[in-house]
Amino acid sequence: MSTKSPTVTLIAVALIALIVGVVIGYMIPKAPTGEVVPKSEYDKVLAENEQLRSKVEELQKKLEAMGAKEITIVIWTIGPDPPSEYRYKNFEIAAEMLNKWLTLMGSNVKVKVEGEFFVRPVEWKEYRNKFYMAAKAGKAPDIYLTGHEDIGFLADNNYIIPLDDYIQEYWDVVYYDVIPTLWKAVEYKGHKWAIPQDTEVRPLYFRKDILRQLGWSEEEIEALPKKIQNGEFTLEDLLELAKQAKDAGLVERGLVHRVKEGYDYFQFYLGFGGRLWDPAQGKMVFTKSAWKKTLEWFHRAVYEYEVISPTQFSGDWDKDFHGPFTQGKTLFLSGGSWHKGEWISKGLLTEESFKENVGFALHPAGEAGLKPVTLSHPLIYTITKQAADRGVADVAFMLITLVTDPHLNANHAIASSHLAILYSEILDSRYTQDWFLKDVAYMLDYTTFIPNHPNWGDYSRVVYESIKAVEGGESPEDAYNYMLSEIQKLGDVFIIED
């Protein structure tokens, strides 16, 4: 069970002091002269918060009509990386803000939040299973954070409710400010089922210090991300360079990738020209040529170039992923933007050592003429059907609206190295001062969202099993035949193309 930390309390107090008196409209100061805050910006914020005050007043009346004295909202969120803790902590701040406002309005109703922020060793699969079991037992949380790709399954099985009406009602409060492409990630069968919480990109990290030892100049090192962006450094070049570093005895491994099932491997398939999703037909895509090349590449990486360990998939996150890279024992790491925040917060690297010795780039094109890639996996807040049945969906949505504040969401983005979801969040002074978030932002131009399809989990599982088998010694041909046969069993949900 989450407990409130001193940091949360301090932030809550600061935000309440800054926002409540001014924003709620009871003590609105005169407009500034423009020396500090432009009047247009002041008027915009004032209008937004007049809307918010109106919504809080409506909520107050509903709660009092219910005869409620205390409303408890249960919230489940996950990292699993610890720096993503503000996915939950922001709700504690939001509840304090809401209760302060209710008190100012003369209400004696209190909103309480309870829940959990899950971190490793709990992984996504276990977290999802916990939710499904809780939902079937009638004990689902009211607010459930998950990946956007789960929406189809959750909606089709009546676990969550559509949020179109809420979003429209609160549009002028904050939702107009959400970066538009993120709304696509929460749409399914003509409805919006969730509110975006964050997004990310997945860089290919590399060790600058190893490249220096290989004789690269600073100019050549700094030029590598641009060469990848231009398609001048491919996945084949990556194998060659990783082998050079390993043969020279500079590293123990050439490349490390995640050690558990996940979505990162799809970037290699995309790099070889594969497609994941056909929006016109609403179907997932299996590109035969790209999957053949991907499986062959992983097999050669393990058994010809010997730059990926054959036991990488049965490894440990610290010993086989974070450790080898942050200690300079591997040249490349296929990771996510959030890993930078995790390494700093865990003390594995300092901000200075990261900047000095770590570079980052898109995942390279599979071969000349193709494009470099990254992959994004927006996380989302949903409201469960059981929250609606309990009559607390209005309160749940108010809390989600409050944590969608640009400054609160920036708490999370800065601490965990995730990307902003709001245009105004990009202008937050802390966000603008974060050089890493600024420097990876261009990767969003090269990103692909994971398909929001009920059978996405099946696709992911088959890919994981196939690549794991190839790295374990199975031939690429046999792994490909298994992959294709499993995909064909799923039927009409796929487009299978050459």
Question: How does pLDDT run across 351-394, given as a tens digit for each residue?
Answer: 999 999 999 999 999 999 999 999 998 999 999 999 999 999 99
Least confident interval from 47-51, 97-101, 196-200, 309-313: 47-51
Please report how many Cα atoms fall inside a 13 Å half-sphere around the Cα of residue 13, on the Cβ side. 7
- Whether residue 64 is predicted with pLDDT greater than 90 in this model: the reply is no
Report pLDDT for 279.
81
Q: What does the DSSP 8-state code read for residue 410?
A: H
For 450-476, what is the mean pLDDT?
95
CA angle 263, 264, 269 (to 5 degrees): 95
Angstrom distances, CA of residue 101 to CA of 27, 55, 68, 89, 491: 12, 11, 16, 19, 53
Report pLDDT for 44.
73
Lookup result for tokens 């919504």: 55
- Whether residue 2 is predicted with pLDDT greater than 80 in this model: the reply is no
Report pLDDT for 280.
83
User: Residue 51: what are its φ and ψ, rounded to 5°?
Assistant: -65, -45
Q: Among residues 435, 242, 396, 238, which one has the least CA distance to residue 324?
A: 242
For 268-296, what is the mean pLDDT?
95
Report pLDDT for 444.
87
pTM check: above 0.75 = yes
- CB proximity list for 138: less than 8 A, separation 6 or greater: 386
- Whether residue 23 is predicted with pLDDT greater than 50 in this model: the reply is no
| H or E stretch covering 480 | helix 476-489
- CB proximity list for 401: less than 8 A, separation 6 or greater: 52, 55, 170, 173, 174, 175
Report pLDDT for 22.
43
Q: Among residues 216, 197, 195, which one has the least CA distance to residue 206?
A: 216
CA angle 54, 177, 197 (to 5 degrees): 95
For 282-305, what is the mean pLDDT?
97
What is the secondary structure of 162-195 as a DSSP string?
--HHHHHHTTTTTGGGB-HHHHHTTEETTEE--E
**What are the tokens at 132?**
């499904």
Report pLDDT for 46.
75
Q: pLDDT digit string (tens) for 107-162?
A: 989 999 999 999 989 999 999 999 999 999 999 999 999 999 999 999 999 999 99
- Whether residue 10 is predicted with pLDDT greater than 70 in this model: the reply is no
| H or E stretch covering 212 | helix 208-213
For 402-416, what is the mean pLDDT?
94
Using CA atoms, how far apart are residues 137 and 459, in angstroms rounded to an integer?
28
Using CA atoms, how far apart are residues 324 and 255, in angstroms rounded to an integer?
10
497 bridge partner residues? 287
